[in-house]
Amino acid sequence: MHLSPAMQKVLNEQVTLELEASLVYLQLSIQLDDLDLPGMTRWMRAQSEEEQVHAAKFTQHCLDRGFTPQIGDIAAPKVSGSQPIDYFKAALAHEEKVSESIRNLYRTAQSEADLDVLPLLHWFIDEQVEEESSISEIIGRLERVGTDGAGVLRIDSELGSRHPDITADGE
């Protein structure tokens, strides 16, 4: 039930990456707040909190298996852009990075014959498909409305109605 050194390494990296994702979303929320888009700001803050829950899920799995992860170095997120679509594209790019990392975790689990981590990884694979799809849909809608202020404000309003949909145990 203990984790191999290879699994310890990639899981430790994943904990750090999930916390980095939380900071990326927090920075994106700040950028959107500066644009006076409270709905998009709220959506990004909820994403930031969700990423912290994801880090906690990986951390707990490690602890349950006798390994104490250590948070690695996290650089301050660099976000560029001036329009909401720029920030959602940055979010998608980061989610794609997280997705690839989880696929790498899965490949490592297969090579290490670590069956115990697979249920957790399956949950995260499903979660990443959902995350990328959700953000892609928002980007598509923002592309359709372009610079139409009323359209952007409508999307902002809809995104602001989001309720946190994940609990501390990830359900």
Q: What per-residue confidence (pLDDT) applies to 163?
A: 66
Q: What per-residue confidence (pLDDT) applies to 79?
A: 87
Distance, CA of 124 to CA of 130 (rounded, Å): 10
Q: What per-residue confidence (pLDDT) applies to 8?
A: 97
Our CA angle for 17, 21, 26, nearest 5°, is: 150
CB 56 within 8 A of CB 167: no
> What are the domain boundaries of the chain?
5-160
Q: What per-residue confidence (pLDDT) applies to 171?
A: 45
Does the annotation list 13 as a binding residue?
A: no
- Assign domain 5-160 to its CATH architecture: Up-down Bundle (1.20)
In the block, tokens 């829950």 appear at 53
Does the annotation list 18 as a binding residue?
A: yes
Max alpha carbon distance in the chain (Å)? 55
Our CA angle for 48, 51, 55, nearest 5°, is: 140
Among 21, 6, 20, smallest CA distance to 127 is for: 21
Per-residue pLDDT of the chain (171 residues; tens, 9 = 90+): 799 999 999 999 999 999 999 999 999 999 999 999 999 999 999 999 999 999 999 999 999 999 999 999 999 888 888 999 999 999 999 999 999 999 999 999 999 999 999 999 999 999 999 999 999 999 999 999 998 999 999 999 999 987 655 444 444
Burial-class residue 132 by CB neighbours within 10 Å (0-12, 13-18, 19+).
middle
